[in-house]
């Protein structure tokens, strides 16, 4: 059974010191998840690039740096933060769509490895740095994910160089004497069926023969983490073993041992974080009990955007009689709902609620909508 990462006494102390609402992260859980994934993939030349769009808190990044992780960034701001906390440039990779040529030039100047996302980006790179090595992101026509917005491959996806354009890619590379050292395919995130990750790998292996100078292959992220009570934790050891064995076999056929790269984000940080909020109001209608807290989708947009489920705990009254409530926020939008018809111990004004599994895509997607300030973040342990 899911348990809160923090109990009432410590939570109340943090709220008193830092204010409500508040994001809280446990370092210990981040470390456990990272080591779990690292230990599961047994292929010797494996590198983990943590996808910091999931959670870019500086203390979390410093911990992952210390643990040996590399970092994957999707904006200049993320690269600057990675450099600021101490990541060396050879442990930073960058991938993003629809960026200006100036940003690409800045990345080249900084010596950052980039997965070029389009033919246009390859053309720009060739103009800026002819005769160099490049990596490219491919869309091989297949995607999967926990929501349609989480699928990053296939015909409906904006990401990557579409597989039908690979001949054009080679022509541009030849024009500027570019050597393709790496290929990336990221099919999506929060993937329920681990076999989808293996299917994605097979598509890469089938196309790899068209890239004879590879040094590494990057399979992106996608490792699932359970949010709903009905969801199960992915068997990381099992899927890691299968990925390792299959990559070893591919390298034997390819003719040399390449580096295997992955880009997990959610799996490492999701269950390490929680959003604490204080109950401001309780309203009754003929149909519902509305429990209103001092946060909203400007702080945690996942339920409104993806219909996502998050466990919610009443830290102040954990043993109260259960009642069915709608937990709602303070944003002036009807979509500002954290949970509908959720059974919680009786909730009273002033109670402290904990919204669990908010360590990934919580604070990083927060905004100041309604001109409400973002919560503070606290890292404990």
The CATH number assigned to the domain with range 27-268 reads 3.20.20.10
Mean confidence (pLDDT) of the chain: 94
What is the band of 147 on the pLDDT scale with cuts at 50, 70, 90? confident
Q: Does 380 have pLDDT greater than 80?
A: yes
Sign of CA dihedral 98, 177, 128, 74: positive
The third-level CATH classification (topology) of the domain covering 8-23+270-380 is: Lyase, Ornithine Decarboxylase; Chain A, domain 1 (2.40.37)
What is the band of 146 on the pLDDT scale with cuts at 50, 70, 90? confident
In the chain, residues under CATH classification 2.40.37.10 are 8-23+270-380
Question: What contacts 265, CB < 8 A, 6 or more positions away?
Answer: 50, 51, 52, 53, 54, 55, 72, 189, 221, 360
8 Å CB contact between 135 and 114: yes
d(C-alpha 262, C-alpha 198), whole Å: 13
d(C-alpha 146, C-alpha 149), whole Å: 8
pLDDT reported for residue 230: 86
8 Å CB contact between 256 and 41: no
Pairing of β 259-262 and β 46-51: parallel
Q: Is 332 a catalytic residue?
A: yes
What is the band of 305 on the pLDDT scale with cuts at 50, 70, 90? very high
Q: Does 66 have pLDDT greater than 90?
A: yes
pLDDT tens readout for residues 163-211: 999 999 999 999 999 999 999 998 878 777 878 888 888 999 999 989 9
pLDDT reported for residue 196: 83
Which member of 52, 96, 251, 332 is catalytic? Answer: 332
Q: Does 144 have pLDDT greater than 80?
A: no
In the chain, residues under CATH classification 3.20.20.10 are 27-268
pLDDT reported for residue 322: 98
d(C-alpha 375, C-alpha 365), whole Å: 12
68: left (phi over 0), alpha (psi -120 to 50) or beta: left
Average pLDDT over residues 13-37: 98
DSSP string across 330-355: SSSSTT-EEEEEEEEE---TTPEEEE
What percent of the chain stands above pLDDT 70? 99
């Amino acid at each position: 059974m899911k348990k809160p990462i923090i109990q009432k006494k410590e939570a109340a102390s943090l709220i008193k010191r830092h204010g409500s609402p508040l994001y809280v992260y446990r370092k210990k859980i981040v470390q456990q998840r990272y080591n779990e994934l690292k230990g599961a993939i047994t292929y010797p030349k494996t590198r983990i690039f943590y996808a910091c769009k999931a959670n870019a808190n500086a203390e979390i990044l410093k911990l992952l740096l210390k643990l040996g992780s590399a970092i994957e960034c999707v904006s200049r701001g993320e690269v600057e933060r990675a450099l600021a906390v101490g990541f060396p440039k050879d442990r930073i990779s960058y991938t993003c769509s629809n960026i200006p040529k100036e940003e690409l030039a800045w990345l080249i100047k900084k010596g950052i490895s980039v997965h070029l996302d389009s033919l246009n980006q390859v053309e720009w790179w060739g103009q800026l740095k002819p005769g160099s090595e490049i990596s490219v992101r491919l869309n091989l026509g297949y995607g999967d994910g926990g929501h349609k917005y989480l699928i990053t491959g296939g015909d409906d996806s904006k990401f990557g160089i579409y597989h039908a354009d690979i001949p054009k890619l080679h022509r541009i590379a030849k024009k500027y004497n570019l050597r393709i050292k790496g290929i990336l395919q990221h099919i999506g995130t929060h993937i329920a069926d681990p076999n989808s990750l293996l299917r994605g790998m097979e598509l890469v292996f089938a196309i790899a023969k068209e890239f004879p100078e590879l040094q590494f292959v990057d399979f992106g992220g996608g490792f699932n983490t359970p949010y709903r009570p009905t969801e199960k934790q992915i068997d990381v050891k099992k899927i890691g073993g299968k990925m390792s064995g299959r990559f070893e076999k591919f390298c034997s056929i390819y003719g040399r041992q390449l580096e295997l790269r992955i880009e997990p984000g959610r799996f490492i940080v999701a269950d390490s974080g929680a959003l604490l909020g204080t109950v401001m109001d309780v309203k009754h209608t003929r149909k519902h009990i509305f429990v209103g807290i001092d946060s909203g989708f400007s702080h945690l947009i996942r339920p409104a955007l993806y219909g996502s489920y998050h466990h919610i705990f009443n830290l102040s009254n954990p043993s109260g009689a259960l009642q069915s409530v709608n937990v709602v926020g303070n944003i002036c939008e009807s979509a500002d709902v954290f949970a509908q018809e959720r059974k919680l111990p009786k909730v009273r004004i002033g109670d402290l609620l904990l919204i669990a599994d908010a360590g990934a895509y919580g604070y990083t997607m927060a905004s100041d909508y309604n001109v409400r300030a973002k919560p503070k973040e606290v890292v404990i342990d």
